[in-house]
Structure 1
Amino acid sequence: MTTFKERLFSNAMRTLIAFNLIFISVTSHADEATESLIRQLEKLQSIEAHFVQYVVDKAGTSVQESRGILKAKRPGLFYWHTEPPLEQVIVSDGHNVIVYDPDLEQATVQPVTEQLSNTPALLFSGDVKKLGESYLVHHKNWDKTINQYVLMPRGADSLFESLRLRFDSDILVEMRLTDSLGQKSTIGFNDAKINSGMTDKQFEFIIPEGTDVIRELGQ
């Protein structure tokens, strides 16, 4: 049986992978919906926001609620800080992912290229030239400002059954993920700052002294 901490880590990693679709270089020859999504993503070079994440299982039972801060910058920079009581920090520089658990005084360092390259979403540092070959994209807009895109993976080995992105006036306001077990994650973003000129130094993370560091093969 997985612990709450393990579920928190798993959900955060799925979110990290989903953001790979957003903070990469996106160029593709595809259908109208895919091209519309590409144009939307090209406007989003960086984001800083507070988030609220709700996760329910297949039966609709709540299994997790968390809040925190997200920072992401194209290409490859990602910072996800879940607030106490189950505090956790996940940082990616496009090459490595650091998962730091202050309660356990433990940090795991994983090479991005080995841990995430086989996922349907390519790496932060990747170049998606064939987005339409990996995903079916459906586009719906309710008015001039609100656009929704649903990405359905073409391959059977995806971590997701679907990924929904909703934009309001070019600002990402919500992301919904459904995994292969029917678990659904809804992440709402507020106080978002888009393309605010964040520097790479804002994504630097120093593992605190005395932390037990676990390094995966390839480090």
Structure 2
Amino acid sequence: MNINRTPFFSRLFRALLVITLSTSGTVSASEATASLIQRLEKLQSIEADFVQFVVDKAGASVQESRGVLKAKRPGLFYWHTEPPLEQVIVSDGQHIIVYDPDLEQATVQPVSEQVSNTPALLFSGDVKKLGESYLVHHKQWDNTVDQYVLMPKGADSLFESLRLRFDKDILVEMRLTDSLGQKSTIGFNDAKINTGLSDKQFEFVIPEGTDIIRELTQ
């Protein structure tokens, strides 16, 4: 099996949801964009456990991982993947740290415009201009389940499509298809919304002895 150490959000930062029900309703792209912006602006912070599955273009399993996500507007983000492929990604709004304990290595880079336009923006950034970067489609089932599909407008996007699924205003799933056809599905469990996360929960001290690589924004 080909194991990719780099989880979903790390790939995006460094370069940088499906259900079937009997009845559904669709709205226009502009209405879908406005609906998603309104929903995301209400989400000032989120804390959840996650399970991530990655398959290749042929549908073969590439990776399965678990961990914790925390995010808070503006600009705070924490993503911790559990062993055996442990990795920590932290953003304080100014810099992003990607720490690999097994490699004893950490990458530090400024938050550039490219990074701020990744899916992490949905959780911790300013979403008012979401429609400038994405074409949004929206479907709703039984007045409780909402699905949004984001299609990047830019030719240099890091992914082909991003799908978000909400159940009663709680984010339960995210699915991403990248330019190589690899698909990442992230299920969120026990999500806690707007609980007043402390900024200190996004502070990270790189362990002594770690090889630190500092990248500059081009």
The verdict on how the C-alpha distance between 1:126 and 1:88 changes in structure 2, with shifts beyond 3 A counting, is closer
Q: CA deviation at 1:89?
A: 0.5
Structure 2: distance between partners of 1:84 and 1:130: 37
Q: CA deviation at 1:8?
A: 2.9
The verdict on how the C-alpha distance between 1:103 and 1:16 changes in structure 2, with shifts beyond 3 A counting, is same
1:130 is matched with 129
Q: Choose from 12, 27, 32 the match for 2:9.
A: 12
What are the superposed Cα offsets for residues 104-124 of structure 1, whole Å, 9 maximum, x if unpaired?
21111111127625x566857
2:78 is matched with 79
Structure 2: distance between partners of 1:142 and 1:114: 35
1:191 is matched with 190
Structure 1: distance between partners of 2:80 and 2:111: 19
2:53 is matched with 54
Structure 2: distance between partners of 1:78 and 1:132: 22
What are the superposed Cα offsets for residues 80-123 of structure 1, whole Å, 9 maximum, x if unpaired?
11101111111111111111111121111111127625x56685
* Residue 204 of structure 1 pairs with residue 196 of structure 2: no
The verdict on how the C-alpha distance between 1:52 and 1:73 changes in structure 2, with shifts beyond 3 A counting, is same
The verdict on how the C-alpha distance between 1:142 and 1:122 changes in structure 2, with shifts beyond 3 A counting, is closer
Structure 1: distance between partners of 2:154 and 2:179: 12
Structure 2: distance between partners of 1:115 and 1:90: 17
What are the superposed Cα offsets for residues 2-47 of structure 1, whole Å, 9 maximum, x if unpaired?
x73xx33263324669xx9xxxxxxxxx811111111111111111
Contact preservation (8 Å) 1:97, 1:110: yes
The residue type equivalent to 2:208 in the other structure is E
The verdict on how the C-alpha distance between 1:135 and 1:143 changes in structure 2, with shifts beyond 3 A counting, is same
2:139 is matched with 140
Structure 2: distance between partners of 1:84 and 1:145: 35
Contact preservation (8 Å) 2:47, 2:192: yes
Q: How does 1:170-189 map to 2 (within 5 A)?
A: 170-189=169-188
Query: What is the DSSP-based 3-state SS (H/G/I as helix, E as strand, rest coil) of the residue aligned with 1:116?
Result: helix
- Consecutive unaligned residues of structure 1, counting only runs of 5 or more, are 21-29
Contact preservation (8 Å) 2:10, 2:98: no
Q: How does 1:97-176 map to 2 (within 5 A)?
A: 97-113=96-112, 116=115, 119=117, 127-176=126-175
The count of residues paired between Structure 1 and Structure 2 equals 202
TM-score using structure 2 length: 0.84
- Consecutive unaligned residues of structure 2, counting only runs of 5 or more, are 17-28
The verdict on how the C-alpha distance between 1:125 and 1:33 changes in structure 2, with shifts beyond 3 A counting, is closer
Structure 1: distance between partners of 2:161 and 2:113: 24
The residue type equivalent to 1:168 in the other structure is D
TM-score using structure 1 length: 0.84
What are the superposed Cα offsets for residues 31-72 of structure 1, whole Å, 9 maximum, x if unpaired?
111111111111111111100000001000111110001111
Query: What is the DSSP-based 3-state SS (H/G/I as helix, E as strand, rest coil) of the residue aligned with 2:209?
Result: coil
Contact preservation (8 Å) 1:99, 1:108: yes
Structure 1: distance between partners of 2:48 and 2:124: 21
Q: CA deviation at 1:126?
A: 5.4
CA RMSD of superposed structures (Å): 2.4
Structure 2: distance between partners of 1:96 and 1:112: 5
